[in-house]
Chains A and B, each alone.
Chain A
Amino acid sequence: MVIAAPSVDFDASRAWALSSEVSLRDEAFGALAYHHGTRRLVFLKSPELVTLVRALGSFDSVNDALDAHVDAPQRARYYAALAALQRSDLLRVR
């Protein structure tokens, strides 16, 4: 469950949001995300990533959310983190 490499299936031009089956619990390091369906626990390893994930639902695309929340040099990292969350089924297309 390490959040790492980008995925080709994750289309950042579309609108995504946290899956309704996922709960987030804030922690000092970021948050724990639990998928009630797959029963998998995933660690979001920075508070900034948690903010971004929570905000996804109010943007028309992932790209817009990244523009608003992340500085350019960090963008690839956050994109990769989101793609990994999507592979774990934590994000859903809206």
Chain B
Amino acid sequence: MCADSSLRDRFERGLAAPICLTWELTYACNLACTHCLSSSGRRDPRELNTTEAKSLIDEIAAMQIFYVNIGGGEPMVRRDFFELIEYAVGQHVGVKFSTNGTRIDEVAARRLAATDYLDLQVSLDGVDAATNDAIRGVGSYQAARQAMDHLAAADFGPFKISVVMTRRNVEQLDAFESLAEHYGAHLRLTRLRPSGRGVDTWDELRPTREQNRTLYHWLIERPHVLTGDSFFHLSPLGAPLEGLNLCGAGRVVCLIDPVGDVYACPFVIHDQFLAGNVRAAGFGTVWRESELFVSLRDEGSPGACASCGSYDACRGGCMAAKFFTGLELSDPDPECVLGHGEVALAQKVEVRRPVSTSDHSRRVSIPLRTRA
């Protein structure tokens, strides 16, 4: 995207429709990753049905939202998955979807390859089974690699390998790059945030300050590596990273969850950031009129970052990361590269981390079936 500052001001005041709309199709998932941002596992019985999902796609098309990021849960476990993505593409809504790969066999890979205007990313959090499976579960590495093999064999074209950066895999950056090259794939790196089940694992998994610095320099040298604008909190380390360098929540970004609830961003599935429901009002009305979104688009105040010379580079960082670590939204990002977030946390008499208001984790874990 473009870092032009006049445009950034416009974006902070919100757009007619989101640029980056994520739609989680289901909370059902056959994995149970320890950092899952949506605490997925069990299907929610209130999930939008096929008819409701299609009318939502109609509205997305009418609002000229050019593409939708589909996720979950594992979107491919929905029986109408192909029906919905093919319907979206038919309405000229491009689909970018995110999958753990477990449902991509030969047949699915061929069907995906035959669909136009479809991008997909397979999640992988380590370049070897040991690193990956410690987070994503036993067998998940093998399943993801098999999915990639099937996609390559079906000539899908360049898919994405999507990696959440953790303390355990920053050292594997070069190896991830080689893996992506091996498949002719694009590498996409995103930030671990303390959202969903990540609340419980963030302390142990988040990159160290030194690792964040390594990551920043690695990214600066590789502008072709995709990041979904995730790491702008690192921009005060030097030249700004590619992207808008602002929190887009409720301004250019939002989430529609499986039951039709609209949140400011995929990383803030919490009542405090719930703007409304598409069943009641329709998505457009929620986007344009919800009190929450209108207030997020108000002239933001730099808060505790006001005296920091780097405010223009990082705009105080990520709202979700602040909220779920118990900081105020006017505080610096907990991973502020100048250390101000840690100071803010240390100064709290008592740090209270918010409790999840939408947990779909399975109570017992089921072992993953992998195709040998």
Contacts and interface: CB of A to CB of B under 8 A. Distances in A.
B159 to A, nearest CB: 13
Contacts of A1: 1-2
Interface string A2-38: 1000000000000000000001011111001010100
A69 interface: no
Interface stretch (B13-21, B319-327, B341-349): B13-21
B66 A36 contact: yes
A34 B92 CA distance: 11
B66 A25 contact: yes
A27 B92 CA distance: 19
Nearest to A2: B2
Interface in A38-94: 39, 41, 43, 45
A25 B61 CA distance: 11
Given A23-B92, A36-B94, A39-B119, A29 B10 contact: yes
B4 interface: yes
A52 B17 CA distance: 23
A43 B1 CA distance: 9
Contacts of B94: 36, 39
Task: Name the prevailing secondary structure of the B interface residues.
Answer: loop
B7 interface: yes
Given A28-B10, A43-B2, A23 B64 contact: yes
Interface residues of B, number: 17
Interface in B37-78: 64, 66-67
Contacts of B183: none
Contact of A25 (B1, B7, B10, B17): B17
A29 to B, nearest CB: 4
A44 to B, nearest CB: 11
Interface string B15-40: 11101000000000000000000000
Contacts of B273: none
B117 interface: yes
A83 B17 CA distance: 27
Nearest to A42: B2
Contacts of A25: 16-17, 64, 66
A25 B17 CA distance: 9
A2 B244 CA distance: 12
Given A1-B2, A39-B94, A34 B16 contact: no
Given A34-B66, A36-B92, A27 B4 contact: no
A94 B17 CA distance: 31
B16 to A, nearest CB: 6
Contact of B15 (A27, A34, A39): A27
Contacts of A41: 1, 19, 66
B66 A23 contact: yes
A28 B252 CA distance: 13
A45 B66 contact: no
Contact of B7 (A26, A36, A45): A45
B305 to A, nearest CB: 25
Contacts of A29: 6-7, 10
A39 B67 contact: yes
A41 B96 CA distance: 14
Contacts of B67: 34, 39
Contacts of A23: 64, 66, 92
Contact of A26 (B1, B4, B16, B119): B16
A36 B1 CA distance: 16
Contacts of A43: 1-2, 4, 7
13 contacts: A1-B2, A23-B92, A25-B16, A25-B66, A27-B16, A28-B15, A29-B10, A36-B66, A36-B92, A39-B94, A43-B4, A45-B6, A45-B7
Interface of A: 1-2, 23, 25-29, 32, 34, 36, 39, 41, 43, 45
Given A23-B92, A29-B6, A45-B6, 17 more contacts: A1-B1, A23-B66, A25-B17, A25-B64, A25-B66, A26-B16, A27-B15, A28-B15, A32-B66, A36-B66, A36-B117, A39-B67, A39-B94, A39-B117, A41-B66, A43-B1, A45-B7
User: Top 3 nearest A-B pairs by Cβ distance?
Assistant: A34-B66, A25-B64, A29-B10
